[in-house]
Amino acid sequence: MKHHIEGSQAVAHTVALCRPEVMACYPISPQTHIVETLSRKVKAGEIGNCQFLNVESEFGALSVLIGASAMGARTYTATTSQGLLFMAEAVYNAAGLGLPIVMTIANRALGAPINIWNDHSDSMSMRDAGWIQLFAQDNQEAADLHIQAFRLAEELSCPVMVCMDGYILTHAYEVVDLPTQEQVDAYVPAFEPVQVLDPQDPVSIGAMVGPEAFAEVRFLAHHKHVRALEAIPRLSQAFQDIFQRRSGGLMDTYHTDNAETLLLALGSVNGTIKDAVDELRKEGWPVGSIALCAFRPFPSHALRHVVQDAKRIIVFEKDLAVGMGGIVSSDVKMALQGLPIIVDTVIAGLGGRPIPKASVIDTVKQACLEGLEEPHFLDLNWDEINRELTRQQAQRRSGPTAENLLREVGPPGTKPV
Amino acid sequence: MSYQRVKFYQTGTFTVGNRLLDESDRTVQARMDRTNSLNAGHRACQGCGEALGARYALDAVMRATRQQMVAVNATGCLEVFSSPYPESAWQIPWMHSLFGNAPAVASGVAAALRAKGRTDVRVIAQGGDGATVDIGFGCLSGMFERNDDVLYICYDNEAYMNTGVQRSGSTPPRAWTNTTQAVGTNPGNPMGIGKNLPRIAMAHGIPYVATASVADLHDLEAKVTKAMSIRGARYIHIHVPCPLGWKSDPAHTIKVARLAVESGLFPLFEAEGGEVTDRTPIRKKVSVEQYLELQGRFKHLFHPRDERALETIQAIADANIHRYQLLPLKA
Ligand SMILES: Cc1ncc(C[n+]2csc(CCOP(=O)(O)OP(=O)(O)O)c2C)c(N)n1
Ligand code: SF4
Ligand SMILES: [Mg+2]
């Protein structure tokens, strides 16, 4: 049924319908509304015998799920930003052990400077950990992806992160078609673990592996992701059959046919990008866009197929590989190796900086007419940067960079950003 | 051909041969129907106190749960010497995740069991002193504070042994380790710092806390068995000499452990709900010197004699004796 509902509530409601058995959570903005809602549902007995643990840290939260999952329970948590970094060791461990944990990432920037607003630096920091990473474009998809995530994780015995933009999605009220228990039950079968701690059939899980087999174990983890490339579109189709709407899949394409220039991005900014595409098309620019849903595994093959006739791809990404440039665009370049396609990197939306449609349109025109430097930073305030660089050159003890910049920019709202 | 002379009795100890005891008092390991959590063939050093302590402790859990148990292990010597694939020495469902998260992983196992409505299977977590008092301390405190149904066992060999003997928060004053070298004006580990985890556990007010030693395996088994009769968070801290890290003779493991107890440096007690309920009195008090001099890690205290250090360590032992009333009070 359709509800006008906050993104976090929609996700919490949907996760509850997936019948998790153990959840362990630690609060961090902007994830809090999700876990608060789930804790209430558990306490009210709305999720059967589900256990909700208030733990001492994110590292503890994921570690609890590692134990619970190995014991054969369906497990869930949510975090973001510093919380994801704090659990990093367990993030790799859960994937290495092949435990089908589902975790929401309410995407947020990484400090320092501490910043609670949205970008994708947090998920990107864990992109090689072995988790499947799916990015939602809107709150309907955020909710739907969780249903698909439990089935995908358990089918492959591989953990899945569902990434949704912090605040932009988690705190936005939109109309979301919430599924029924019957629909979810029809889609997500009972959890049948591939490995379990069972006194009737004792196994050792997580023991040491030496050089003689480690590479093969890693290859098999990679192979799981290769299988996921087939499973993700199949499960998206199966989802559509039951829920009568399209959600997920490897990617979502918009006016890609006959497009010479394609914009590519992850997450909610695709709404703005689609509007920009509409406007550019009206002006006669042959553009289209791709919303990548699956970032891990990276759908190289499918992407090559979709973009083969394009001349240019402009990747808008909310992250920065400091000292290098784009993270997503690097993967795109790798995927398109050998094709005569220019790939531009546009670093945008860091720490919650808005990505206005006008800036997107200007950047596309600039790229097509003059080309872009690599990487291109969207809407940088060059006056402030140059002032700070000059200050740093003039005096050794130039002070904390962030404070200096803020002093120049002034309190929020006093100057346009 | 070389041969080893068999000794039937340890002289100068209180050990009694099993055959002299009533059947019911005999150590579990002497029984025909004993359990065997940790099989022979693992890779611990000769005389490893941790291997001995773990086998007795987990066998007691196996018996108490009729083998319906799961063990979670922190990274460390015990994990490494017992588990390399495909030669796991464990005869029980056993899981290793990380160095610092064993208490949380065990909380997860307990939560899964609760979710599935299973009361028959129980979970224990175990780790070395480093895993327990240092890196895993946050998770451990969380597990205590939530009173999760987990027995956590710490095998205290007083340093990070698996990485080659470095100092932990449980390394005793003046001990040599590779990061507290016996050089300079105050050789070895600095005086006056370190963590007493049994007392910190008690401060959480959890149902059961006990200390035990491989010098008294009967007592160890009894405490583990008692712990398993209780629900909620429980903690047992076992003193386990490490011949490699302590530079002691592998044949002296039990003797060294006993001297730690009899000197008062490692008091044996039980606590329930944060209050001490029982202690094992010292039968024949020895000086701390007798304990220290068997271990190469304290060699620098004797060559030349460091009277001040020896007096300070003796004072620590005497304070323990007083605090836990380990000797009959003098009239
Ligand atoms: C996060 C992390 N830091 C450091 C290590 C390296 N490490 C592995 S075992 C170990 C020492 C274990 O010491 P302890 O817990 O006392 O157990 P012991 O080996 O002495 O029985 C260390 C430092 C690690 N595996 N993980
Ligand atoms: S180093 Fe010490 S704790 Fe580790 S196996 Fe050897 S004796 Fe046991
Ligand atoms: Mg140790």
Domain presence at residue A383: no
> Ligand 1 centroid to B130 CA: how many Å?
6
* B214-239 residue pLDDT tens: 999 999 999 999 999 999 999 999 99
Report the number of distinct structural domains present in chain A: 2
CA distance B89 to B83: 6
| Nearest-by-Cβ selection for A199 from B68, B116, B138 | B68
Q: Is residue A316 located within the same domain as residue A239?
A: no
Arithmetic mean of pLDDT, B151-155: 98
CA distance B323 to B180: 29
C-alpha to C-alpha distances, A316 to A291, A343, A345, nearest whole angstrom: 10, 11, 6
> Ligand 2 centroid to A186 CA: how many Å?
53
Cβ A170 vs Cβ A8: under 8 Å:
yes
Does the complex come out with an ipTM higher than 0.90?
A: yes
Q: Is residue A202 located within the same domain as residue A264?
A: no
Residues on chain A touching B83 (C-beta within 8 angstroms): 204, 207-208
| Nearest-by-Cβ selection for A51 from B84, B115, B142 | B115
With 0-12 / 13-18 / 19 or more C-beta atoms within 10 angstroms meaning exposed / middle / buried, residue B146 is buried
Q: Is the Cβ pair B111, A63 closer than 8 Å?
A: no
Domain presence at residue A170: yes
pTM, 2 dp: 0.96
Q: Which long-range contacts (CB under 8 A, 24 or more apart) does A326-331 make?
A: A326/A375, A327/A124, A327/A127, A328/A264, A328/A265, A328/A266, A328/A292, A328/A295, A329/A375, A331/A295, A331/A298, A331/A300
Q: According to the model, what pLDDT value does residue A91 have?
A: 98
CA distance A32 to A49: 22
Distance from CA of A29 to the nearest CA of B (A): 21
- The side-by-side arrangement of strands in the sheet containing A312-317 is A251-254, A287-292, A261-266, A312-317, A342-347, A376-377
* Beta strands B269-272; B275-279: pairing state: antiparallel
In this model, does residue B209 exceed pLDDT 60? yes
Topology annotation, domain B34-323: Rossmann fold (3.40.50)
Residue that is last in its domain, among A196, A215, A243: A243
Torsion sign, CA atoms B8, B14, B20, B23: negative
Q: Structural domain of residue A65, as residue ranges?
A: 2-243
Q: Residue A71 sits in a domain of what CATH number?
A: 3.40.50.970
Q: What letter would DSSP give residue B160?
A: B
Binding pocket residue ranges, ligand 2, CB within 6 Å: B 44-45, 48, 50, 77, 81, 157, 161, 242-245
CA distance B53 to B57: 6
Query: What count of other Cβ atoms lies within 10 Å of the Cβ of residue B10?
Result: 12
Bridge partner list, A204? B94
* Beta strands A132-135; A75-79: pairing state: unpaired
Q: Which atom of ligand 2 is nearest to the CA of B51?
A: 8
Q: According to the model, what pLDDT value does residue B329 have?
A: 65
Cβ B59 vs Cβ B30: under 8 Å:
no
Residue of minimum CA distance from atom 17 in ligand 1: B128
Q: Is residue A10 located within the same domain as residue A54?
A: yes
Q: Which atom of ligand 2 is nearest to the CA of B81?
A: 5
Q: Is the Cβ pair B85, A197 closer than 8 Å?
A: no
In this model, does residue B155 exceed pLDDT 90? yes
CA distance B185 to A210: 43
Cβ B37 vs Cβ B58: under 8 Å:
yes
417 residues of chain A, pLDDT tens digit each? 999 999 999 999 999 999 999 999 999 999 999 999 999 999 999 999 999 999 999 999 999 999 999 999 999 999 999 999 999 999 999 999 999 999 999 999 999 999 999 999 999 999 999 999 999 999 999 999 999 999 999 999 999 999 999 999 999 999 999 999 999 999 999 999 999 999 999 999 999 999 999 999 999 999 999 999 999 999 999 999 999 999 999 999 999 999 999 999 999 999 999 999 999 999 999 999 999 999 999 999 999 999 999 999 999 999 999 999 999 999 999 999 999 999 999 999 999 999 999 999 999 999 999 999 999 999 999 999 999 999 999 999 999 999 899 888 887 777 655
- Which of A42, A50, A71 should we substitute to test contact with B (largest number of B Cβ atoms within 10 Å)? A71
Spatial neighbors of A411 by CB under 8 A, at least 6 apart, are: none
- Which of B85, B87, B119, B147 should we substitute to test contact with A (largest number of A Cβ atoms within 10 Å)? B85
In this model, does residue B63 exceed pLDDT 80? yes
Residue that is last in its domain, among A205, A224, A243: A243
Q: Residue A296 sits in a domain of what CATH number?
A: 3.40.50.920
Residue of minimum CA distance from atom 25 in ligand 1: B99
Domain presence at residue A388: no
Domain presence at residue A414: no
Domain presence at residue A165: yes
Bridge partner list, A375? none
Distance from CA of B115 to the nearest CA of A (A): 5
Q: According to the model, what pLDDT value does residue B28 have?
A: 65
Q: Report residue B29's pLDDT band, with 50, 70 and 90 as the boundaries.
A: low
- Asked if the C-beta of B85 comes within 8 angstroms of chain A's C-beta atoms, the answer is yes
Q: Is residue A219 located within the same domain as residue A273?
A: no
Q: Is residue A211 located within the same domain as residue A114?
A: yes
Q: Is residue A155 located within the same domain as residue A72?
A: yes
Residue that is last in its domain, among A243, A268, A287: A243
Distance from CA of A280 to the nearest CA of B (A): 52
Torsion sign, CA atoms B310, B311, B316, B321: positive
In this model, does residue B192 exceed pLDDT 80? no
Q: Is residue A100 located within the same domain as residue A213?
A: yes
Residues on chain B touching A18 (C-beta within 8 angstroms): none
Which residues numbered 160-219 in A keep a CB inside 8 Å of some CB on B?
Answer: 197-199, 202-210, 213
- Which of A195, A197, A205, A216 should we substitute to test contact with B (largest number of B Cβ atoms within 10 Å)? A197
Domain presence at residue A389: no
Q: Select from B126, B99, B121, B269 the least CA-distant residue to B199.
A: B269
Distance from CA of A318 to the nearest CA of B (A): 32
Domain presence at residue A405: no
Q: Is residue A60 located within the same domain as residue A202?
A: yes
| Nearest-by-Cβ selection for A204 from B88, B112, B113 | B88
Domain presence at residue A324: yes
Q: Is residue A203 located within the same domain as residue A266?
A: no
Question: What percent of chain B is modeled with pLDDT above 70?
Answer: 92
